[in-house]
Structure 1
């Protein structure tokens, strides 16, 4: 069959979202949300997209991009999405070749891509192009509707006995510096998380617009742990387009407050608040080496789903240079 590959334009976002959501029905995204993310992307974080058309129909998309949380000027993510009925016809390869050829001007040293471990065809496609598994990310789901916060009363009592208070953002909004404290806490926790690149904090104003100004932001499902006036931990959920579901955000406590049951207490309070608000389910991703958070989630009733693999391919440099950079 024939197709045409061209650069992506703004008018393609709606068709892109339709294709994306058909391929990733559990991780949907709207055209408006993707436009917003692009608008809030810092200039150094490169992104470029293409579409493949057959007649007037969108058959597939390809892109390269750099993550906003861990920028490296010569490391890129590559993504290829093809409509299910157009696969195994060479379109994915054509889109991939288009993306990689365009990347050459940036002199990349490492390419990455995400795929799920049970997507055998995708794994073969990646392996044939020199990609090997890197970080493993565990996905799990929690049935909020059946979650019983009272079963974890002892965990909440343990936090309280240590003088730790857990408050929702609406309870803290009368404090003039709550946004700055939340920002500082989030950046410190993100820097401690297992990841493939060092965390690069965004400017405060940009973080505020991305997070507090997001249509997915749910103040009542943002829980903060306080030691006196100090923000020492957080657990939050975000609005999801799938009815009845919330997306799991960040859960963590500062280093000196770990191994005291505080992260568990935060997560219990957050899940209880989500249940009270009528939500039925949440899903989360955790790096496989994050044994502490995985253990908390399993204890609270999260059940494993197929994991995700971050595939990696050194290019334009020897493997040692890509690993060291």
Structure 2
């Protein structure tokens, strides 16, 4: 009946997926994606995937690492998740304590964690010395039943719609676009994407990324906006990132990319679309509400100083 915490093993991928889907039903994950996250982890991130086990059953998990892409040194993250049927047994606390010990040993000065905005989860975090910083909303769209806007019959001069598959031979233009919009995202940690090979391993080769559903808007041949589509290969679709480069903002190009991607996703048989937005990201929240997305959950990032 004792809960133990250990490092992930490849045979755990199915069980970790089950825990994540139960704990965070508004996210999209698969066993291949769990494996790839571990196998492609940058050594600079000191990444560990922990699992909590009770009587041979995996009941919790936590992704833990150094925020090596942040502009600020010493930042780290730990995100424990426990299956709802097994909470209150100490798995979450043991996962978090193991994570903090690992991060402190790797030189982290503070640790950030996502916490569901509900009394039990917030109480868990506050009891362990974590203080809230900023919220993120998760939104859901009924792709099967909701009417979607149609694509315009003609596009403005110089504007084209493509999919990420068109960049299979050379995805660097998408890396450069992703780096620019990521740098502008509201965040406590922030990130600078400056390592192309790392981006290829972590983002481009992510098993969740669907190149045929990832829509790209170009202006005079240059990437201007995009929406990255993550799917579970069955019914669930997630907007991994939607953004417009600075020189092209205010022209409705993010809406165009998202419309194209959602229409493709529905035609491919996906029935549930999810996305997430920082609560202060008014422009993207407005776009998603325009499509009919509704908030289905909120997480609040918390932080605790180590040592």
Q: Same fold (TM over 0.5)?
A: yes
1:154-187: CA deviations, max 9, x gaps?
A: xx75xx23532222244x359x6x5221221121
| 8 Å Cα contact 1:147-1:271 kept in structure 2 | no
Structure 1 182/86 Cα, relative in aligned 2: closer, same or farther at 3 Å? closer
Measure how far apart 1:278 and its partner are.
Answer: 2.4
The residue number in structure 2 matching 1:246 is: 237
The residue number in structure 1 matching 2:130 is: 131
Q: Secondary structure at the match of 1:81?
A: strand
1:104-147: CA deviations, max 9, x gaps?
A: 323432111112212x1111010111211112111111122223
Structure 1 169/14 Cα, relative in aligned 2: closer, same or farther at 3 Å? closer
Measure how far apart 1:54 and its partner are.
Answer: 3.5
The residue number in structure 1 matching 2:189 is: 197
**5+ unaligned residues in a row in structure 1: which ranges?**
317-325
Q: Give the structure with the higher percent helix.
A: 1
1:286 corresponds to 2:281: no
| 8 Å Cα contact 1:149-1:269 kept in structure 2 | no
CA distance in 2, matches of 1:253, 1:73: 28
1:213 aligned to which of 205, 216, 222: 205
Question: Rg larger in 1 or in 2?
Answer: 1
User: Aligned Cα RMSD in Å?
Assistant: 2.7
The residue number in structure 1 matching 2:70 is: 70
Structure 1 144/208 Cα, relative in aligned 2: closer, same or farther at 3 Å? same
The residue number in structure 1 matching 2:162 is: 167
CA distance in 1, matches of 2:291, 2:59: 41
Moved more, 99-108 or 263-272: 99-108
Structure 1 260/244 Cα, relative in aligned 2: closer, same or farther at 3 Å? same
Q: Secondary structure at the match of 2:193?
A: coil
Moved more, 303-312 or 104-113: 104-113
1:44-102: CA deviations, max 9, x gaps?
A: 10123444444333344455323565375522212333344443344433343333334
1:303 corresponds to 2:294: yes
The residue number in structure 1 matching 2:140 is: 141
The residue number in structure 1 matching 2:109 is: 109
Structure 1 28/161 Cα, relative in aligned 2: closer, same or farther at 3 Å? closer
